Amino acid sequence: MKNLSRDTTSPILTEEDKTFDLTLRPKTWQDYIGQEKIKKNIQIIIEAAKKRGESCCEHLLFYGNSGLGKTTLSYLVAKELGANIRQIAGPAIEKVGDLAAILTNLNEGDVLFIDELHRLNRLIEEFTYPALEDFKLNLVLGKGPMARTMEMKLPRFTLIGATTRLALLSAPLRNRFGATFQLDFYKQEDIEKIIQRSSHLLKLEIEPGAIELLAKCSRFTPRVANRLLKRARDFAQVEGQGIITANFARKALEFLEIDGLGLEIGDRKILEAIIKKFEGGPAGLQAISVSAGEEEDAVLDIYEPYLMQLGFIERTPRGRVATRSAYQHLGISFKNNQRLLS
């Protein structure tokens, strides 16, 4: 997951837009647009826990592409539970001692949010099982024949795990979550509402044509939509009177080299690699990454999900294949792989 400095539409959170995200992050269920089914299910889970008089709810697992709102939802859950939230990334927990420190510092009812859960060390993962099931931690003190285990009682807490790669979680870990939710790409109309809401919060004037255009190119991902809005705002403020017109939105997209379907250079390089170097595929992930000059993680987490959503790539047991629509979008003849002269 490198190349963040040149990333333009990558849904991965960069340092630059962290504050931006914080300003725009919905703080109530009413403010949260889209993912209706998930919202409803979570609300029921929380309501039920409250009715039972419990201080926390079942452990929840969110999976889906970056930028779709896993963190936002987690903060909303904590708010709804009236709980404090502690956030940590899976790879930041390096030792069992780190996990013990985090868990023993929780207060009754707290929400622990572990992002990138698939990158949690497997050895440490096993120590979470008793913590998740019985709210206790079994620590091993000493080494060899003198080693003893000590059981520590933990406060009751709710774990919220987030991952972009559900398949990388072990079955025992997955099974310890009471509910698992997949966050999907948003609908065009929801992204339009999100852009409208963000514009309102940022006190920006934006024309309907600009909203529609930015939404179309946002990879159906709120974080990308907000980032595009920011770029269009820059153009409107520097070159115009501050009003974001469709023309300024278009200028921003051109500047970022984003096409009408929201594809950026990286997407196009990947499609071209499959089509031109591997005759349309099937091609393996490693071969595609090398040819396109992109990290494998970036291909898996950023580019491929959207290319698959558009129906431009299909995954087969033998590798990735570019579809007819991908050829059409790039203006390459599907039959003989020759670029059409138009």
Q: Which long-range contacts (CB under 8 A, 24 or more apart) does 234-237 make?
A: 236/204
Under rule CB under 6 A, residue 197 binds ligand ADE: yes
164 labelled catalytic = yes
- Judged by CB, which is closer to ligand ADE: 10, or 323? 10
Q: Please state the closest distance from residue 31 (CB atom) to ligand ADE, in A.
A: 6
- Judged by CB, which is closer to ligand ADE: 224, or 271? 224
Decide: 280 and 322 in contact? Cβ < 8 Å: yes
Instruction: Name the residue number minimizing CB distance to ligand ADE.
Output: 222
Decide: 41 and 181 in contact? Cβ < 8 Å: yes
Count of residues near ligand ADE by CB under 6 A: 11
71 labelled catalytic = yes
Decide: 159 and 59 in contact? Cβ < 8 Å: yes
DSSP 27-83: -STTT--S-HHHHHHHHHHHHHHHHTT-SS---EEEE--TTSSHHHHHHHHHHHHT-
| Residue of 71, 128, 221, 245 marked active site | 71
Under rule CB under 6 A, residue 75 binds ligand ADE: no
| Residue of 128, 164, 221, 323 marked active site | 164
- Judged by CB, which is closer to ligand ADE: 13, or 154? 13
3-state secondary structure of 92: helix
Indicate which single residue of 194, 228, 274, 332 sits in contact with ligand ADE (rule: CB under 6 A).
Answer: 194
Binding mask 17-56 for ligand ADE (x = CB under 6 A): -------x-x----xxxx----------------------
Residues recognised as catalytic: 70-71, 115, 164, 223
Binding residues for ligand ADE, per CB under 6 A?
24, 26, 31-34, 69, 72, 194, 197, 222
